[in-house]
Structure formats: C-alpha cells, structure tokens
Amino acid sequence: MQRYFLNERYVNQNQSFTLTEEDYHHAVRVMRMAVGDDCFLVFQNQCSIKAKITRIEADSVYLEEIEKEQAEKEMPVSVTIACGYPKGDKLEWIAQKGTELGMQALVGFPSKYAVAKWDDKKRVKKSIRLQKICKEAAEQAHRTMQPQVTLLSELDELVQKFKEYQTVLVAYEESAKKGEKSAFVQAITQCVQQEKVLIIFGPEGGFSKGEIDLFYQNGAIICGLGPRILRAETAPIYALSAMSYQWELLG
C-alpha cells in the first residue's frame, strides 16, 4: 500500500489529514486513487497510520484515520552513515540502499584520496536529489521517517559532529586486511536502545594515515568488516545489514 510522508506531527486520531501538491498529484494522477481507498500516512514524530480517503477536491485529498500502524519499522539504534565523496552516482545509490536498510541520516564529506571534488554548487544540487531519493526509498521500504542528508564542505565539520554520537566507528580497509574483526562486533553488540552511532566510510581511494589518526584521536573506533575487500559503496550496505541482523533479528 502506498505511503505518504506528511510535514506535520501526529496529535490524535480526530485530526483531519490532507495530501497536497506533489503527494496530491501522485495519489490522484499517478496512483488514480479514489474515495474509499486506503494508504499509509507517516508523520514527523515517527508515527504512522492507515487512512481512508473521504473526499477529493481540486488540489487536496482528505483522509481519516482507520488505525495505527503497529509494526516497528525503525532500527532500535540510530545509525548515521558518513561517506567520503565517491565518484559518479554512488552516493545516490548509498542513499537509496541505506534508506531501505534503516539508516537515520546520511553525511557526505571531502576526503584526501577522493577523486571526486564536490564544490558548493554541486553539493546544493546533489543535496536536493539525495533527499528526494531518501524520501522515495523510505516510502517504498515502509519506513516511518526519512533519513536527512547533510553534505559537508570540510572534513573538520565531520570530526566536530563526533560529540553528538555515543559511538563513532571508522571502516578501514587496512584493518580488514590485517584480519581485525572483533572491534565492529564489540561496538555494535554493546550499543543500547536509542543510542546514536556514526559510522564513517572512505571514498574509493580509502583514508590517508593522517585521516585515520585524526578520527582515532577524536575517539573513533577503527574496525574491519570481514575478510574480503569491499568497494566504497558496498561497505556501508554491509555494515547496515549486519547491524539490522544483530539488533533486529538476533535481538
């Protein structure tokens, strides 16, 4: 069933709900929904309901609540994925797959060995596009929130964000090559509910020794992700899948 994200908070079941603009267009023109049809509505306070269309006017679809959506769709730990700017459309891809796999936020940052240079103009343009991809993927994956996208202009801004998180991890290929495999497991099995975790991934060229030192000196845990060498865009997907397995399936 179709899901729509509303830019409002859910207060109580007597509220009336309205789809306008893009969502109106999607419901009426693309999905050809009619009075009596059901869909899910998702609110800014991570609440979601099943709703029925009661009236359709020239630019608004009116709905009323049928019932709350029960199942928990969000990870018990909030995970932010930070990626050194990769080449081409890889960040778009990470945005889509990361959203499906439960990430709460996506951060891009410049990194020494990154081939791609993301100037101000490119960041503004990409930011809009990435946010749209996250919204669509969140609807498709039945999420109750849309991951927020932040594209940084300096590596230092990333390091300054460390204090917002209880755990900061850095996926480092050299750790993987040396067979390091316990740091990631230790960190994620010790996370508690509602904790905020930041996990940082390098661009195609990996991290410089200086960058790793900077992260480490600011409290990050350097970890490997298994014995095979993963591409820049595959490593975040591995980490999110493993976290979901640990927290949501193993529990």
Closer to a second copy by Cβ: residue 40 or 118:
40
Q: What is the DSSP letter of 242?
A: H
Alpha-carbon gap, residue 164 to 90, rounded angstroms? 26
Q: How far is the CB of 216 from a second copy (least distance, A)?
A: 21
How many CB atoms are closer than 10 A to CB 18?
17
Alpha-carbon gap, residue 201 to 83, rounded angstroms? 5
123: contact with a second copy by CB under 8 A = no
Of these, 50, 87, 181, 196, which contacts a second copy (CB under 8 A)?
Answer: 181
Of these, 50, 135, 142, 161, which contacts a second copy (CB under 8 A)?
Answer: 142
113: contact with a second copy by CB under 8 A = no
Tell me the backbone φ, ψ of residue 11, rounded to 5 degrees. Answer: -105, -60
Of these, 44, 55, 164, 179, which contacts a second copy (CB under 8 A)?
Answer: 179
CA atoms within 13 A on the CB side of 158: 31
Q: Which stretch binds a second copy (CB under 8 A): 23-31, 146-154, 173-181, 197-205?
A: 173-181
Q: Which DSSP string corresponds to 142-207? A: T-SS--EEEE-S-HHHHHHHGGG-SEEEEE-HHHHHTT--HHHHHHHHH--TT-EEEEEE--TT--
Q: Which two tokens stand for residue 210?
A: 């200086």
Q: Which stretch binds a second copy (CB under 8 A): 48-56, 78-86, 212-220, 221-229?
A: 221-229
Q: How far is the CB of 11 from a second copy (least distance, A)?
A: 25
Amino acid occupying residue 123? R
Pick from 151, 174, 175, 170: nearest CA to 85: 151
214: contact with a second copy by CB under 8 A = no
Count of residues interacting with a second copy (CB under 8 A): 36
244: contact with a second copy by CB under 8 A = yes
> Which residues between 68 and 87 bind a second copy (CB under 8 A)?
71-73
CB 145 within 8 A of CB 74: yes
Ramachandran category for residue 46: left, alpha or beta (phi over 0 → left; psi -120 to 50 → alpha): left
Q: Which stretch binds a second copy (CB under 8 A): 34-42, 107-115, 204-212, 223-231?
A: 223-231
Q: Which stretch binds a second copy (CB under 8 A): 55-63, 84-92, 180-188, 194-202?
A: 180-188
143: contact with a second copy by CB under 8 A = yes
Q: Which stretch binds a second copy (CB under 8 A): 10-18, 33-41, 106-114, 229-237?
A: 229-237
112: contact with a second copy by CB under 8 A = no
- Residue ranges with strand state E in 14-153: 17-19, 38-42, 48-56, 61-68, 78-84, 105-109, 148-151
Interacting residue ranges for a second copy, rule: CB under 8 A: 71-73, 97, 100-102, 140-143, 177, 179, 181-182, 184-185, 225-231, 234, 237-238, 241-242, 244-246, 248-251
